[in-house]
Chains A and B, each alone.
Chain A
Amino acid sequence: AQKITQTQPGMFVQEKEAVTLDCTYDTSDPSYGLFWYKQPSSGEMIFLIYQGSYDQQNATEGRYSLNFQKARKSANLVISDSQLGDSAMYFCAMRGENYGGATNKLIFGTGTLLAVQP
């Protein structure tokens, strides 16, 4: 079974600083994808970044980067130059690719609430 663990219920960061949100995962699938989504207080889920298990390089998207350590089964999100608008709940999710019975469903962690302070 697949599982995503986010151990930080809440985090604070000062504006303009960088912050790392932790995500560890467990899967027996030979290949898988890891996703981060942002959920502001308005409620919508916004896709941020994707990392494939066989990708040679860590994913980056603007101020977002993913610190992917396959051996440790971790996929931490790094937000650089934090802005007030980054205050939100952040979810790590994964999709597995297995042989037979595979689905596209996403498995989500419990989320980390990030507060950016001026």
Chain B
Amino acid sequence: DSGVTQTPKHLITATGQRVTLRCSPRSGDLSVYWYQQSLDQGLQFLIQYYNGEERAKGNILERFSAQQFPDLHSELNLSSLELGDSALYFCASSVFPLGPLTDTQYFGPGTRLTVL
């Protein structure tokens, strides 16, 4: 158990809908990262938050947004869902925003999103 929690574990929804994925980082970690794992794109970095502020953006679609709350939990919002958004979404956390190379990211169990 990495200490990172994600809910829900599975999510099935229809095209055009909006969903929210939730993540709680490990105790003491201030940085939260979101990654998407799909069959065609592999594991890709979406976005990073540190202590409530956005720190880095990756290949995140405009239909997707995220935020980190004062209690450090984070939510990833996916809207106008398409079939291609079906994937495993991971949240990871680490101590620093841009720390030493040893600052390991620990991953949550993931949320499997299926868009029908």
Contact = CB atoms under 8 A, between A and B. Distances in A.
A105 B42 contact: no
Given A45-B90, A47-B106, A95-B101, A106 B45 contact: yes
A114 B6 CA distance: 26
A26 interface: no
B90 A35 contact: no
Interface in A13-65: 31-33, 35, 37, 42-47, 50, 52-53
Contacts of B98: 102-104
A103 B104 CA distance: 13
Closest 7 CB pairs of A and B: A33-B101, A45-B107, A103-B56, A105-B45, A108-B43, A44-B109, A43-B110
Interface of B: 2, 31, 33, 35, 42-45, 48, 55-56, 58, 88, 90, 92, 94, 96-99, 101-110, 112
Interface of A: 31-33, 35, 37, 42-47, 50, 52-53, 91, 93, 95, 97, 102-108, 110-111
